[in-house]
Amino acid sequence: MAETDREGPTAGGEGRSRRSFLDWLLGFSAIGTLAAIVYPVLQFVFPPPRAKGRAKGAVLAAQASEMPPGSGKIFPLGTRPAILVHTPDGKWRAFSAKCTHLSCTVRYREDVHMIWCPCHDGGFDLTGKNVSGPPPAPLPEHAVVIKGDEVYVSEEAQVG
Amino acid sequence: MWTWLDERVGLEPLTHLAAQKVVPRHRYSIFYYLGGMALFLFIIQLGTGLLLLLYYEPGVSTAYESVKRISGEIPFGWLIRSIHRWSADIFIGVLALHMFTAYLMKAYRRPRELTWLTGVAAFGLALAFGFSGYLLPWDEIAFFATSVGTAVAGAFPLVGEPLLQLLRGGEDVTGATLARFFALHVVVLPFAALALLGIHLLLVQKHGMSVPPGVAEKGRARPFFPDFLMHDLVGWTLALALLAALAALLPAELGPKANPFASAPPEIKPEWYFYAPFQQLKMIPAFVGPFEGEAVGAVGFAILGLLFALVPFLDRQAARGERSPAFTVAGWIVFVYLVGLTCYAWLH
């Protein structure tokens, strides 16, 4: 009886500690297995960053003779759209064509001579400044170079 | 045949359920038909969606062309596609009404909290169905609507940027976005919707239909089978006729093919069920205090949705079976606000 008394609690204690160790091991393995599944899946669904697709050097945006003063044109600059504007006073300007509000592609409005985003009625003046509606920031400007009749726009020389 | 099946499957629980299921009669009983109508339209979506899958080819160089072929060359392709479009629009409208009337009838109160939550989640899935399906024809409007919609998700503080990447499969809307939306629209969402719907319907069977607090029942409840089901069938037949008429008179359109290097068209608008947030985003100024307007709009709508989902736990009076006029008034205010914004966007 005395032996049982002595051994019982010790055996029970050992059993409990062995059980809790196994529980811990099982839990740890389950979490480890889950993490080993979830981590690669998460890495898979979030795409790795790509090269920005910046235009190398200057891009031929338009023939100057095709764009009278007071007109605009959307053209690809790398992988993104840009807008070339020939202002009514004869200046050439180029901006990113992605609206700074919710990234719709803007257009030139010849009736009011401004850059306009149709998605939420955002307005930019011909210096790219956000002047009406919800856009929170100006359009980033690109550098324009005229060579004869050709109008080149360069992303690297981006201004502002 | 019945005996043969009964011996092998055990049909007794089904016949028992059909015999026991009743629908309460009171002045608002008519709103009980909305759930069945939503279910019917969902089945139409599954059927027409499966048919469209026979010809639709996802991919930047094939999606638009395949939709054009469905609409122009495949016999009755225009009909299947138009019914899919119209049924989607009506489905979301019916689901919204079902949810709003369930809200006003306080059907969310104990013990139906989970029925409410699965219903609200199903409505979220329906919006996701609409949003993901809108891109699939890969036309101009679809492209820009997706650009804006995903940019709204990107406007959320902290989680916005990863969410945007997750949705677009990159920084911009490209073929990667189309592939993701296709998988979402035809695999992920249908599975999720069927699971949610299963739980929702099971809970409706378990708890029966809720009678609003303080509303007197008129006589004995109506047996579901066959009385209520027959009325349902009449409604479904009318809905099918309406869909056929709309598809024939106003078939689904297909604009010019998406061109990432073109300006957004001047008349651009999302689907009608996104008019309210669309109009709200137009009205919010660039900055609200130190915060950007679009972030305020996105977070505002998310909070509104969350409060709506959690209403069973906020409305303590209804939980005790009492009337809760404050929640009724709040519901009507939100309803009028959303309908007002929708009408405003529609008219402008």
Q: What's the pLDDT tens digit per position in A33-90?
A: 999 999 999 988 998 877 665 666 789 999 999 999 999 999 999 889 999 999 999 9
3-state SS string for B270-286 = CCHHHHHHHHHHHHCCC
Rounded-to-integer distance, Cα B86 and Cα B241, Å: 12
Whether residues A102 and B293 touch (CB distance < 8 A) is answered with no
Highest mean pLDDT (candidates B119-123, B145-149, B158-162, B317-321): B119-123
pLDDT recorded at residue A2: 45
Angle separating helix axes B229-249 and B77-104, nearest 10 degrees: 130
Contacts of A80 in chain B (CB under 8 A): 172
CA-based R_g, chain B, Å: 22
Residue B38 pLDDT exceeds 80: yes
Provide φ and ψ at A85, rounded to 5°: -125, 130
Predicted confidence (pLDDT) per residue in B332-346, tens digit: 999 999 999 999 999
Domain ranges of chain B: 28-212+220-263
Measured from the Cβ of residue A111, the count of other Cβ atoms closer than 10 Å reads 7
Residue B140 pLDDT exceeds 80: yes
Residues B327-333, mean pLDDT to the nearest whole number: 96
Single out the residue of A121, A148, A153 nearest to residue A134, CA to CA: A121
pLDDT recorded at residue B200: 97
Among B155, B263, B278, whose Cβ lies nearest the Cβ of A74?
B263
Provide φ and ψ at B211, rounded to 5°: -105, 130
Residue A3 pLDDT exceeds 50: no
**Between A20 and A56, the higher pLDDT residue:** A20
Predicted confidence (pLDDT) per residue in B151-194, tens digit: 999 989 889 999 999 999 999 999 999 999 999 999 999 999 99
- A-interface mutation test, from B60, B181, B261, B348, most A Cβ less than 10 A away: B261
Residues B275-282, mean pLDDT to the nearest whole number: 92
pLDDT recorded at residue A57: 78
Among A47, A101, A133, whose Cβ lies nearest the Cβ of B176?
A47
Q: Check residue B22 and give left, alpha or beta (phi > 0: left; psi -120 to 50: alpha).
A: beta
The answer to whether A131 contacts chain B (CB < 8 Å) is no
Placement of tokens 């790398």 in the chain: A78
Residues B143-152, mean pLDDT to the nearest whole number: 93
Rounded-to-integer distance, Cα B48 and Cα B133, Å: 13
Residue B215 pLDDT exceeds 90: no
CATH architecture assigned to B28-212+220-263:
Up-down Bundle (1.20)
pLDDT recorded at residue B79: 95
Residue B14 pLDDT exceeds 70: yes
For B157, which DSSP code? T
pLDDT recorded at residue A15: 75
- What Å distances lie between residue A134 and A95, A117, B5, B49, B247, CA to CA? 18, 10, 64, 37, 37
Contacts of A85 in chain B (CB under 8 A): none
Residues B117-143, mean pLDDT to the nearest whole number: 96
Residue B150 pLDDT exceeds 80: yes
pLDDT recorded at residue A53: 57
Residue A157 pLDDT exceeds 90: no
Are B198 and B192 contacting, i.e. CB atoms less than 8 angstroms apart? no
User: Which H or E run includes B305?
Assistant: helix B293-309
Long-range contacts (CB closer than 8 Å, 24 or more residues apart) made by B100-105: B100/B331, B100/B335, B101/B28, B101/B31, B101/B34, B102/B31, B102/B210, B103/B308, B103/B311, B103/B331, B104/B212, B104/B328, B104/B331, B104/B332, B105/B28, B105/B31, B105/B210, B105/B212, B105/B215
Among B171, B176, B282, whose Cβ lies nearest the Cβ of A121?
B282
pLDDT recorded at residue A160: 41
Rounded-to-integer distance, Cα B333 and Cα B329, Å: 6
User: Which H or E run includes B301?
Assistant: helix B293-309
Residues B323-339, mean pLDDT to the nearest whole number: 95
pTM of the model: 0.87
**Complex ipTM value:** 0.76
Q: What percent of chain B is modeled with pLDDT above 70?
A: 100
Whether residues A46 and B162 touch (CB distance < 8 A) is answered with yes
Instruction: Search chain B and give the residue with CA nearest A81.
Output: B261
Angle separating helix axes B189-207 and B113-135, nearest 10 degrees: 160
User: Which tokens hold the place of B290?
Assistant: 């130190």
Rounded-to-integer distance, Cα B32 and Cα B205, Å: 13
Are B192 and B125 contacting, i.e. CB atoms less than 8 angstroms apart? yes
Placement of tokens 């509303």 in the chain: B215
Measured from the Cβ of residue B119, the count of other Cβ atoms closer than 10 Å reads 26
